[in-house]
Structure 1
Amino acid sequence: MEHRFTSLPPDPFMCSSDEKQSRSPLALYSEYQRMDIELRPPHAMPTSHWHGQVEVNVPFDGDVEYLINNEVVRIEKGYITLFWACTPHQLTRPGDCQQMAIFNLPMHLFLSWPLDRELINHVTHGMVIKSLAAQQLSAFEVRRWQQELSHENEQIRQLAIDEIALMLKRLSLAGWQPILVNKTSRTHKNSVSRHAQFYVSQMLEFIAAHYDQALTVNAVAEHVKLNPNYAMGVFQRVMQQTMKQYITAMRINHVRALLSDTDKTILDIALTAGFRSSSRFYSTFTRYVGMPPQQYRKLSQQRRHGLALPKA
């Protein structure tokens, strides 16, 4: 996974409900693997859009309303909501809110975090989740994360990602409830069908359980009883990246954790995460992360052992 934490413009990287996709899978992959955070006044959107990430919204100083799957969802001031954004959504009423945090989280990261399994299942099956308690997050924290995700120091970028994971862990432990249960057969005209969303949710669960093995597209397709070509097409339409790219991202995420938190050899880590060739692993890791695994381990373990971070 390549972390280039520049802010993404909100609309060009989203798929509007009547937009035909013409970008290459590689371009889509690079866009959809970055964690993006915005802190800005909410704006009414002219049409629905959808994308493959998990979206987290927090209005800080006023309620806002979304149209999600053609149902009105009111997000109250100070509450955290999250949903799988392949469900078409449109902010329709910004109200008096002047400051709202919008997180777009790569799905492979979300699935790797230690959250309530029921919460994860609700999200991957199209439900909108709301925190039971307000004021679990401040605009100050969001601004800091924005700055840290674009920092040149990889350790600081990773620290921000870890803290965002803990934000959702706190939500998971403090209590949450589903506020929208998707009951329709199709989420939006010309968009992602509930049929496709259901199959992709099953594929995601299977990949999460087996990515560290010699996993193939055929095995994933067989698990959900679909033709492999059809399964690949459905997955790419919903997730905005190929299945192979997603599996690789899961493996790289696992490798990063093992490099940071264990003393296993790099070859052992590569094999543990599902890579079958050391040369392919080294080239893939360096391409995604921006540095070789030895350097990543050194930087990560400096942080783990509490050594001082370099100044910006």
Structure 2
Amino acid sequence: MKQQDDALMMTPPQDDSAANISVSPLSLYSTHEQIDIELRAPHEMPAYHWHGQVEINLPIGGDVEYIVNGNRVSIRAGHIGLFWACVPHRLTDPGCSHNMGIINVPVHQFLGWPLSRELVNQITHGAVLQSNSANLVSEFELKRWKLELQHPCESRRLLARDEISLMLKRVCLDGWSQMLGGGSDKPIKQGASRHSQFYVGQMLEFIAAHHDTPLTMTQIAEHVGLHANYAMGIFRKVMQMTIKQYITSMRINHARALLSDTERGIMDIALTVGFNSSSRFYQTFQRYLGMPPNQYRMLLREEHN
């Protein structure tokens, strides 16, 4: 168990002049957040940002273009775009879209909905998905959901949440396209129970609350009152990845944003995102991206100039 524990050690991030860039994606989780809806004209973002919810985008009147971790992604008008927003992203071209619905769903609610495990697997691994069908939801419905989610009557709020869940259920039935890669090549384990989802939600929240302190698998398991091996097993079943893989992927997400949006040195970035040595950072980055971090930065600059 000591070897597993050591692999999860995290170091505190350093400060950065850009407030969002200094926030680790690992910190972005709360079981207390509610579903939030915005309905507004899309606009170009000057830099990457991220947050902890699953984001649903519905551009109206025209296609919109994003850069997600250095990759250009276009969401077509009237279609549903879907991704876990802890992946650094920014909208770069609102096109002719005059309005866009933006629905942010807390991860614990998303994991608890009766959706395709393949869709959930792709989302938790950083994929950007788009519904094959257009016009699965109207502008009128988005406005109604926005109002009902703020309604004083809990039954009204629950109805809006259920209807949003059913919208994604329709995406599962009609099919979706993967606009940006993600997902595991391993077989999908079906039927994660509410019991498992509850404990995984608690583990994600604990990791978020302690992301800037040394953290071990034993501590995570003890927090939720489970044996470490059992805790790791249900995390893997729900998230389709290990806790170590989750922590590492969030670190790499953060590093990619810093490489893109700042001039900070590689060693500085390595320490900021939680690696204890530049060699470990180089090795892990190479394994995830197929290139060293300095080459990744150079390619981004060439593409965006």
- TM over 0.5, shorter chain: yes
**One-letter amino acid of the structure 2 residue matched with residue 142 of structure 1:** L
Q: Structure 2 CA distance, aligned partners of 1:16 and 1:211? A: 31
State the TM-score, normalizing by the size of structure 2. 0.56
Q: Structure 2 CA distance, aligned partners of 1:43 and 1:220? A: 47
Structure 1 stretches of 4+ with a deviation exceeding 3 A read 27-30, 205-208, 210-216, 219-225
- Same amino acid, percent of matched pairs: 44
Residues 22-79 of structure 1 show CA distances to partners (whole Å, capped at 9, x for unaligned) of: xxx8x9737x612110010001011111111100001011111000111000111011
C-alpha root-mean-square deviation of aligned residues, in Å? 3.6
Q: C-alpha displacement at 1:211, in angstroms?
A: 3.6
Cα distance change of structure 1 residues 78 and 18 upon mapping to structure 2, 3 Å threshold: same
Matched with 1:136 is 136
Cα distance change of structure 1 residues 210 and 129 upon mapping to structure 2, 3 Å threshold: closer
Match of 2:30, SS state, is helix
Q: C-alpha displacement at 1:83, in angstroms?
A: 0.6
Residues 83 and 127 in structure 1, CA contact (< 8 A), matched pair in contact too = yes
**One-letter amino acid of the structure 2 residue matched with residue 209 of structure 1:** S
Cα distance change of structure 1 residues 19 and 163 upon mapping to structure 2, 3 Å threshold: same
**One-letter amino acid of the structure 2 residue matched with residue 68 of structure 1:** V
Figure out how many residues of one structure are paired with residues of the other and give that number: 195
Cα distance change of structure 1 residues 165 and 79 upon mapping to structure 2, 3 Å threshold: same
Matched with 1:29 is 30
**One-letter amino acid of the structure 1 residue matched with residue 162 of structure 2:** D
Match of 1:157, SS state, is helix
Q: C-alpha displacement at 1:17, in angstroms?
A: 5.0
Residues 98-119 of structure 1 show CA distances to partners (whole Å, capped at 9, x for unaligned) of: 1100010011111111111111
Q: Structure 2 CA distance, aligned partners of 1:55 and 1:17? A: 17
State the TM-score, normalizing by the size of structure 1. 0.55
Residues 29 and 107 in structure 2, CA contact (< 8 A), matched pair in contact too = no
Is 1:217 the counterpart of 2:220? The answer is yes
Is 1:106 the counterpart of 2:93? The answer is no
Residues 16 and 48 in structure 1, CA contact (< 8 A), matched pair in contact too = no
Is 1:180 the counterpart of 2:167? The answer is no
Q: Structure 2 CA distance, aligned partners of 1:35 and 1:145? A: 10
Q: Structure 1 CA distance, aligned partners of 2:193 and 2:153? A: 34
Residues 131-155 of structure 1 show CA distances to partners (whole Å, capped at 9, x for unaligned) of: 1111111100000000001111111
The structure whose RCO (Cα within 8 Å, separation 6+) is larger is: 2
Match of 1:49, SS state, is coil
Residues 285-304 of structure 1 show CA distances to partners (whole Å, capped at 9, x for unaligned) of: xxxxxxxxxxxxxxxxxxxx
Matched with 1:18 is 21
Is 1:87 the counterpart of 2:87? The answer is yes
Cα distance change of structure 1 residues 210 and 81 upon mapping to structure 2, 3 Å threshold: closer
